[in-house]
Amino acid sequence: MESISVQILAGQLLIGLINGSFYAILSLGLAIIFGLLNVVNFAHGALYMLGGMCAWMLMTYAGIGYWWALIIAPLVVGAFGIVLERALLARLRDVDHIYGLLLTFGVALMLQSLFQGIYGSAGMPYAIPGELKGGWNLGFIFLPKYRAWIIGVSVVICFGTWYAIEKTRLGSYLRATTENPELVESFGINVQVLIALTFGVGTGLAALAGVLAAPVYSVSPQMGVELLTVVFAIVVIGGMGSVLGAILGGFSLGIIEGLTKVVYPEASSVVVFVVMILVIMTRPAGLFGKH
């Protein structure tokens, strides 16, 4: 333990913070979708992958670069999410919630194997945009610009979404819809449109995380698979449907994971689940859960 240098500690902290940024955006999307539709979106990892793939395809086939991909990919995947909700999930509103989970599980399998069938399993590189190449030497650590950018974007996106849900009028409609959709409908608000749009925003967030991740990890059809189970564990820790729980849970578990890598590397892939067990034993509803 005494041999751990400041550089290694800071380096793992940074990696943890970056992973935490992805965890936060993904669990935020899950929390929004769960809060309004009561659907555990198992396709979330596949939609994250779709975001990364979309950026890669835009670059490879159309020469469209990172900055446009950052906007186009979430829109495309968000539109896909809306179609998914309208065409399939809307039919399951009245049956056991389990079926929504199983349906999205099926969709995830289809999406992943579709891309794996076409592009194989190998990762495909995606270049960091020129503006974000290089970095700053902070003395104790070299901070690449792109990594700082990820953390910045994700903080802005997360707290922007939190603000929109908790502090604006649209957000209050959303929250009212989760409590009593009939009542909100009677105020002349089209709940079906609201639900579809929210699902679109949730899936768009997953895609955004995918585009942000593309230059860091290479793009591959499986990039969402193992990430998803970690994100689910984080959502259990934060408290299902809690927006703040998802954001804070995402960042802090990324950091905890990074620190574990310094102290006891073998445990780093398990630590999130250990925290999940501890939280369930002490606060079954999750840290920010209401019930």
The residues in 253-272 that bind another protein, with binding defined as CB under 8 A, are: 266, 269-270, 272
User: Site for another protein (CB under 8 A): which residue of 75, 116, 123, 148?
Assistant: 116
Stretch that binds another protein, among 127-135, 136-144, 207-215, 221-229 (CB under 8 A): 221-229
Pick between residue 14 and residue 272 the one whose CB is nearest to another protein.
272
Stretch that binds another protein, among 65-73, 95-103, 148-156, 249-257 (CB under 8 A): 95-103
Interaction between residue 117 and another protein (CB under 8 A) = yes
Interaction between residue 102 and another protein (CB under 8 A) = yes
Interaction between residue 198 and another protein (CB under 8 A) = no
Stretch that binds another protein, among 74-82, 128-136, 153-161, 222-230 (CB under 8 A): 222-230
Structure tokens that stand for 207 in this block? 């895609």
User: Site for another protein (CB under 8 A): which residue of 113, 168, 180, 186?
Assistant: 113
Pick between residue 111 and residue 255 the one whose CB is nearest to another protein.
111
The residues in 45-64 that bind another protein, with binding defined as CB under 8 A, are: none
Q: What span, in angstroms and rounded, lies between the C-alpha atoms of 9 and 197?
A: 42
Interaction between residue 246 and another protein (CB under 8 A) = no
Interaction between residue 280 and another protein (CB under 8 A) = yes
Which residue ranges make up the site for another protein (CB under 8 A)? 38, 40, 88, 91-92, 95-99, 101-103, 105-114, 116-117, 225-226, 229-230, 232-233, 235-236, 240, 266, 269-270, 272-274, 276-277, 280-281, 284
